[in-house]
Amino acid sequence: MRWLASLPLLLGLVACQAPTQSGPDEVAAQPSLATLADRLPEEAADFRRGAVVPRPDGGLEIGYRTTGRTAAGAMVALYRPAGPADAAAVEAALEDLLRDALLPRPTRNLREIGRLTLPDPRPEAGPGAAPPGLRCAETAGRYGRERVAGLLCAGAAGGSLLRLRIGMPDRDPPPGDARAFAAAILAALRGS
């Protein structure tokens, strides 16, 4: 009879337990990668959109570049992670971007010069919501003889991970605004 008295307490605890994985309804509500890619603008902060290319991991890669003699280039990669697109996945994606970018190559030598979080214009809400903002690392170095500056960012939107690589000659004024471009891409993916 004692167990019967504690039954409401047990049921209350079970009801309060947070779900550990996304259910089929939540996964079905996530937009496809193609839908997310379609949200990306033709132009963002003076960067013009290029082709959408499938990636070997099942994701999509979208190129952007500025016009003019001294151009800046950017790559937006969208893909579904093996697990949830949470803060840990975003940090891991940023570390992967940095590891690849900072790996010395014969024609390229970069270093990290700072980290920042770009604010989120429209944070996702509800279960399985993406962490707000973009986690970014600024880089500087040389590509051949040319001094270069870069911005690497990782974030999440619609159950997918987003990776941004922006690179340009280190000039004054710069050929593009990397932070404005990254913020515009996040805003577009969030539907702002």
pLDDT of residue 97: 96
Range of the domain at 127: 33-189
Q: Answer whether residue 59 is part of any domain.
A: yes
- CATH code of residue 39: 3.40.1000
Q: Answer whether residue 14 is part of any domain.
A: no
Q: Answer whether residue 87 is part of any domain.
A: yes
Neighbours of 11 (CB within 10 A): 10
Instruction: Enumerate residue ranges in the chain where pLDDT < 50.
Output: 1-28
pLDDT of residue 116: 96
What is the reported pTM? 0.82
Q: Answer whether residue 24 is part of any domain.
A: no
pLDDT of residue 124: 81
Q: Answer whether residue 27 is part of any domain.
A: no
Q: Are 64 and 50 in contact (CB under 8 A)?
A: yes
Distance CA 165, CA 97 (A): 8
- The helix/strand/coil state of 102 is helix
- Please tell me the chain's helix, strand, coil percentages from 3-state DSSP, rounded to the nearest 5: 30, 35, 35
pLDDT of residue 4: 36
Q: Answer whether residue 3 is part of any domain.
A: no
Task: Name which of 135, 93, 132, 144 is nearest 116 in CA terms.
Answer: 135
DSSP state letters, 37-72: HHHS-SEETTEEEEEEEE-TTS-EEEEEE--SSS--
pLDDT of residue 59: 95
Q: Cα 128 from chain centroid? A: 16
* Size of the chain, expressed as the number of residues it contains: 192
Q: Answer whether residue 19 is part of any domain.
A: no
Task: Name which of 78, 76, 40, 75 is nearest 58 in CA terms.
Answer: 78
pLDDT of residue 192: 62
What residues does 64 pair with on adjacent strands? 49, 74
Q: Answer whether residue 148 is part of any domain.
A: yes
pLDDT of residue 13: 31
Q: How many domains does the chain divide into? A: 1
Q: Cα 76 from chain centroid? A: 8
* H or E segment to which residue 2 belongs: helix 2-16
